[in-house]
Chain A
Amino acid sequence: MKKTLLSATIGAAVLGLGSAASAATLDDVKAKGFVQCVVNTGLAGFSAPDASGNWTGFDVDYCRALAAAIFNDPSKVKFTPTTAQTRFTALQSGEGDVMFRNTTWTINRDTALGLNFRTVNYYDGQGFMVPKSLDVSSALELSGAAVCVQSGTTTELNLADYFKANNLEYNPVVFEKLPEVNAAYQEGRCDVYTTDQSGLYSIRLSLSNPDEHIVLPEIISKEPLGPAVRQGDDQWFDIVSWTHFALVQAEEFGITQANVDEMKNSENPEIRRLLGVEADSKIGTDLGLDNDWAYNIIKHVGNYGEVFERNIGMSTPLKIERGLNALWTKGGLQYAMPIR
């Protein structure tokens, strides 16, 4: 690289692009000693700091799983909280190594934005939330409504398309940050709140009177949410992708945080291969990690089902059903590529 430190600094200061996509992210991460994850500034259940300042949530656990795979230590993580508008620039400019931030995989983002998506850790769709007092039972009754939406999201585009396609009128009320949208909806600045349905359940909880609002049944879009990395580093892309597959595969095999040590003694060659106890297994080292990478993920974070239940499942206040996110063996879409 012909650029010197000075030019990189100036470039970074002026344009925020100083350290874009260097070739070996894994080496950088190992040298730094932690994984830097781009996350949401605050979406309960997905990524939000708790009362003592620790980040928790579904997306946060993915970041910890990645740290466990690399360092055998889920605490070696740092977070870059971003708004919908700043997330791509943050990732492109190297302010994070990977993005786990309820972000929809679209062809535009996969190509023109210089990012790479491969896995979907949450199949979502866009929905609407309205106060019960409006007595609305379908999104098709919403003509003339004021709709609160976060700017710079696919949500904003789907909203425009849906109302246009159904010949309905609406008045968009657009804010950059999620808390501002929440406040505007709470104060009655708009009649309807629209975002990914998972987000709606999370946001409804944060309202002062959750029982007075309902999420309408319609889903008006496909929102496959998944991790993204910068283009140009295939090894890192593989590590992030297979971390997800390992989580899903572990659930399929019935390997949990509690029984993972026991499972090491399993006779099943597929389980032995995943946990890195097969004699000549090279899966981990081929990825650039240790052979017990998947064992470490499950040991520290659990399997996909456990991550889901712990953060957003039926036992949490969000009460989200597995639905499309059930394993393929149970009628859902979560399907891990073969680990062999």
Chain B
Amino acid sequence: MASLIDLANPTRFMRLSAVLLPWLAAAAAVLLVVGFYLAWFSAPPDYQQGETVRILYVHVPAAWLAMMFYSMMALSALGTLVWRHPLADVAQKAAAPIGACFALICLVTGALWGKPMWGTYWVWDARLTSMLVLLLIYLGIIALWRVLDEPSRAGRAVAILTLIGFVNVPIIKFSVDWWNTLHQPASVFRMGGSTLDPSMLWPLLILAAGFTLFALALHMVSMRAEIMRRRVRTLTILEAERLDRLAAQGAPA
């Protein structure tokens, strides 16, 4: 807990993240290179899907990251509302575009996998539909950040919305599942069903770890940018006030 409170200090976060970032980026790069090498040259083609299975090596980590970033946003929202961490809404704001990008990647790669496998780019499958709804929620939150101009007030408003969305996501998943069985009872698609062979599991795990570290590094840079943006904002206001005062002093003389 002590470390969390330490981290909550923006100045200390800036110092710590500057030290941590190169290591994080390097680890992400190594894992991604190794993972891609394994996924492209060492993993065998699937006996059912053939070479198309290679799309899943980026599709599955993207799906996982889209959900992980939303959970992170919900946690930060709790931090904003309950503990009023000064860093929590910075973390929340920085996470939204990254999560949205991974949701988008998940949908695009899913569509490109679906065309050769299912014969169509899009089916209203429960999982695809839920991911699309998640992307919509991400876009709504990003839009809200963009119209709210005062950061401290905006943080709390967006936090409430993020939490409502977080409570809603499982309900949406449940209702979409229900809706799906209602409308297409016989066409439930399964990826493999059986357990993955280690020769396919390892590249997947390494790539998932690599993408996660890459996303966390981006998140950290984005948080640093946001902290600096707020400092720039405060300093600009202070400077304007001081210039104002000077002008007022200068005028009567």
- Whether chain B is bound by chain A comes out as no
Interface residues, chain A, with chain B CB atoms under 8 Å away: none
Seen from chain B, the residues whose Cβ lies within 8 Å of a Cβ on chain A are: none
